[in-house]
A and B are shown apart, each in its own frame.
Chain A
């Protein structure tokens, strides 16, 4: 089975801190994603990456950056955490399967509280 592992399940950080959320997938997938999920807003795409060192902005990239130095690892960075970034963050990965399409595999989520 595909496994997407997020390093931290629950975090509490102070306003202004730099926050790193790490994600590792073990299926050699090319695509990786970071979403955030908030009540009433569903899942919103922050950034995605389709190759090492490649990244694309999603719908809400402001206040975030990402890093993909290795194929299996995709990091989300909050340069200066703010209270409105309190949320559940979901990492996901998928592979390109040509005409068969693909599916996205999600991690368990990281609950971040910024105080």
Chain B
């Protein structure tokens, strides 16, 4: 499973755009890139998932360059409530159905985003 590297922490101010970059140099052909958000005392929550180029939803955008060795989560106009830990995961969420290798995704240490007023 591809290992990921992301900054331990980031600070931002309300209303700013925040970009968190994740490196995954040994990403495999079948691997997807998935980002999760975790608030204190809660389980992680899915934000966005992509395979290549750009993916956008109501919460964030995910930019993936052609070589797929990195990805950037972009949060537009953050607010105080976006203060959380953000995890980048790389893996084949499909696995091989029924093989025991289904959706085994490994979490790294994440990036703690602190949004200030």
Which chain A residues border B32 with CB–CB below 8 Å?
Answer: 101
- Report the minimum CB–CB distance from A36 to chain B (whole Å): 11
CA distance A40 to B44 in the complex (A): 16
Q: Give the interface segment out of A41-49, A67-75, A79-87.
A: A41-49
Q: How large is the interface on A (under 10, 10 to 19, 20 to 34, 35 or more residues)?
A: 20 to 34
Q: How large is the interface on B (under 10, 10 to 19, 20 to 34, 35 or more residues)?
A: 20 to 34
Task: Determine if B49 and A103 form an interchain contact, defined as CB atoms under 8 angstroms apart.
Answer: yes
Which chain B residues border A25 with CB–CB below 8 Å?
Answer: none
Counting CB contacts under 8 A, is A61 at the interface?
A: no
- Report the minimum CB–CB distance from A40 to chain B (whole Å): 7
Counting CB contacts under 8 A, is A108 at the interface?
A: yes
Q: Which single residue of chain A is at the shortest CB-CB distance from B8?
A: A40
CA distance A66 to B62 in the complex (A): 35
Counting CB contacts under 8 A, is A96 at the interface?
A: yes
Q: Give the interface segment out of B13-21, B76-84, B99-107.
A: B99-107
Which chain A residues border B105 with CB–CB below 8 Å?
Answer: 104
CA distance A40 to B9 in the complex (A): 12
Given A4-B43, A92-B43, list of 14 further CB < 8 A pairs? A43-B87, A43-B107, A59-B106, A96-B97, A96-B102, A97-B94, A102-B93, A103-B46, A103-B93, A104-B103, A104-B105, A105-B46, A109-B43, A111-B41
Which residues of A are in contact with B by a Cβ distance under 8 Å?
4, 30-31, 35, 40-45, 48, 50-51, 54, 56, 58-59, 90, 92, 94, 96-99, 101-109, 111
11 A-B pairs in the complex with CB atoms less than 8 angstroms apart: A42-B87, A43-B107, A44-B107, A45-B107, A50-B98, A50-B103, A58-B104, A92-B43, A98-B94, A104-B105, A106-B42
